[in-house]
A and B are shown apart, each in its own frame.
Chain A
Amino acid sequence: MQIRQHIAMEETDAPQSWNMMFANVENNLAPWQFSPADRANWTEALDKEA
């Protein structure tokens, strides 16, 4: 992991897809491009049930 830290933070040479994941974590608070506001949307299915 120290080697990865060197590559990611010193050389800024991580694989492109990891850089995109970093950007998503930083901007969307998740490794994918979803809005943080939608985090609890899964509960909607339960709300409908009695």
Chain B
Amino acid sequence: MQVPLMADLATEGKSPEILFWVGCAGSFDDRYKKVTVAFAKILHKVGTDFAILGPEEGCTGDPAKRAGNEFLFQMQAVQNIETMNGYGIKKIVTACPHCFNTIKNEYPNLGGNYEVIHHSTFLQQLIDAGKVKMKEAGDFKGKRITYHDSCYLGRANNIYEAPRQVLQMLDAELVEMKSCRTRGLCCGAGGAQMFKDAEKGKKEVSQERMEQAIEVKAEIVSVACPFCMVMMTDGTKQTGKEKEIKVYDLAELVAQAEGLV
């Protein structure tokens, strides 16, 4: 399958319905690239009319903004908004809650107004519309899966149910950790902490979080954010549970259940 570039479609006079905003982690992080591929396969399978910006996409500026560099954030934002407005983009889907939050809530003030959907909500809509069908005798039947809330989906944008509804259709046993939903525990990477050493303390946040997953005997920790993915994977190593507990993104679980990967 081919993933079309916005620029190529524009030269043919076409404008796709949805821009898939891949984000930096989705483009460059080896682990999260698998999520990008899984999600692109789902989009392709259900026949979504989409394209990516490819080399024309740039960091949303989120890490710069969270770290206090408002100037750099605005430079990035204005550049991206110019690109997207140039293509007349109306609707965006992204697998990164940081990109989602920034484009949805912070770009409008700078002239970027779009309908922005996180991939968890998008997957839920596909399931509700009956467009995603799980194969018989699912791989996840009876497995204990817990969902780790991403701050930028949950507390920042009030998206708690969509990811859980996606997981429920896997026919698995969905278990909740001690801290969940509005009381969810950070993975340790939010607010640009991903890009610096941890503050002094007795324990890594990721280890604390993974211990909560172990408490509820989860076999799979599902995430919906590239940075949560990194931190939770670290957590399995810090607790010595690499073999027992696997960390997957929602899109990977759906693609797997559909037999796409």
Contact = CB atoms under 8 A, between A and B. Distances in A.
A7 B1 contact: no
Contacts of A32: 24, 28
Contact of B67 (A8, A36, A42): A8
A46 B70 contact: no
A49 B37 CA distance: 11
B69 interface: yes
Contacts of A25: 59, 61, 63-64, 72, 76
Nearest to B53: A39
Interface of A: 1, 3-9, 14-15, 17-18, 21-22, 25-26, 29-32, 34, 36-43, 45-47, 49-50
Contact of A39 (B1, B54, B69, B76): B54
Give the secondary structure class of A's interface.
helix
Interface of B: 1-3, 5, 22, 24, 26-28, 33, 36-37, 40-41, 52-55, 57-59, 61, 63-72, 75-76, 192, 194-197
B67 A46 contact: no
Contacts, number: 110
B3 A40 contact: yes
A25 B71 CA distance: 12
B196 A15 contact: yes
Contact of A21 (B2, B26, B55, B63): B63
A7 to B, nearest CB: 6
Nearest to A30: B24
B88 to A, nearest CB: 21
Contacts of B5: 40
